[in-house]
Amino acid sequence: MRKLTTLFSLFIITGLLLTACNLPKPNAAATASGDRVGTAAAQTVEALSTQFAPPATLEPQATSPIVITPSATTPPETSTTIPTSQPCDRADFVADVTIPDGTKFNAGDSFVKTWRLKNSGSCSWTTSYRVVFESGNALGAPASFNLPADVAPGATTDISVQMKAPDIAKDYESNWKLQNPSGTIFGTGSTGAKAFWVHITVNAPTAVMFAITNITITADNNNFTGACPHTFNLTAEITSTAAGKVTYWWERSDGTKTAVDTVVFDSGGKRTVTSTWQVSATLDGWIKIYNDNPNHQYFSQYPIKATCSS
């Protein structure tokens, strides 16, 4: 379009020039007039040239480069946890199923201790794993014994062992750990160094007062019939609560008393003493024992009968 406009302008200018060249020049006035016409034509051409001149070339303006500054962003948080490998053999204590710490027993009492443990390692426990005594007092338990069943990682198991309270009154602690088939011993806690244990107290023996609690009399035949004189063979069983010396005598329904006799107890229990009673005539009577020490007490009388035929 710009080219067509330029060509059109040139045609007009050329036409005006040709017209100016062909105008008559009769005289100076005419020449002056012709000059005025030429001047006018030239001015017209200049004006048109200016009007239809192509636009001036624009020099590129210096511009500042556009700088895109990225907006500040918070980097995503990253975990600071460093993964660690789970140890093969490790245990966690779960509970004392029986015999909590501080349970009291009398000397010689038997009991069953049961722990509940969790396999917190990565390896399964088989029945080749053992429970082993580590320190303290074994309380009559074996030094080691096998697990009762396999235990998978993450599972729990109950471990029981028969124990016995010692004879001396005091506190006792028995510490135990586990052992794998290769002989490596491990326990509980994050490092596997802790044992699991039982802690008991054995009571001081209660002082038992020395006393006779019972005397039982028997005879070979306490209802005799036959020829007299006849001798009854008598036996008495004396029961004591503790060690000590018992003094006693036999006493009969006819008023007879035997001499004072003694029997010594090394501990509480029963002892047997004997005596005889000879009768010469028919008798319907009794016999008993008087405990002079420690009770100062009669016990139940025992019936004695004799029917003499001659």
Whether residues 10 and 48 fall in one domain: yes
The reply to whether 303 falls in a domain is yes
Whether residues 131 and 222 fall in one domain: no
Give me the numbers of helices (H) and strands (E) for the chain, helices first please. Answer: 2, 18
Whether residues 40 and 117 fall in one domain: no
Residue with token string 């069953």: 112
Q: What share of the chain has pLDDT > 90, as a percent?
A: 70
The reply to whether 66 falls in a domain is no
- What's the domain range around 38? 2-52
Whether residues 224 and 279 fall in one domain: yes
Question: pLDDT for 160-200, tens place per residue?
Answer: 999 999 999 999 999 999 999 999 999 999 899 999 999 99
Spatial separation of the C-alpha atoms in residues 49 and 37, rounded to whole Å? 18
Query: What separation in angstroms does the CA of 78 have from each of 72, 81, 85?
Result: 18, 9, 20
Instruction: Give the confidence band of 8 by pLDDT, cuts at 50, 70, 90.
Output: low
Q: Indicate the residue among 168, 202, 236 that finishes a domain.
A: 202
Query: What separation in angstroms does the CA of 107 have from each of 110, 166, 176?
Result: 9, 6, 22
The reply to whether 62 falls in a domain is no
The reply to whether 72 falls in a domain is no
Tell me how many domains the chain contains: 3
Spatial separation of the C-alpha atoms in residues 284 and 50, rounded to whole Å? 177
The reply to whether 275 falls in a domain is yes
Q: Distance between the two ends of the chain, CA-based, in angstroms?
A: 180
The reply to whether 86 falls in a domain is no
The interaxial angle of helices 28-52 and 2-21, nearest 10 deg, is: 180
Q: Flag whether pLDDT at 107 surpasses 50.
A: yes
The reply to whether 151 falls in a domain is yes
The enclosing domain of 294 has a CATH number of 2.60.40.10
Q: Flag whether pLDDT at 26 surpasses 80.
A: no
The reply to whether 279 falls in a domain is yes
Whether residues 153 and 231 fall in one domain: no
Q: Indicate the residue among 202, 220, 245 that finishes a domain.
A: 202
- What three-state secondary structure class fits 152? coil
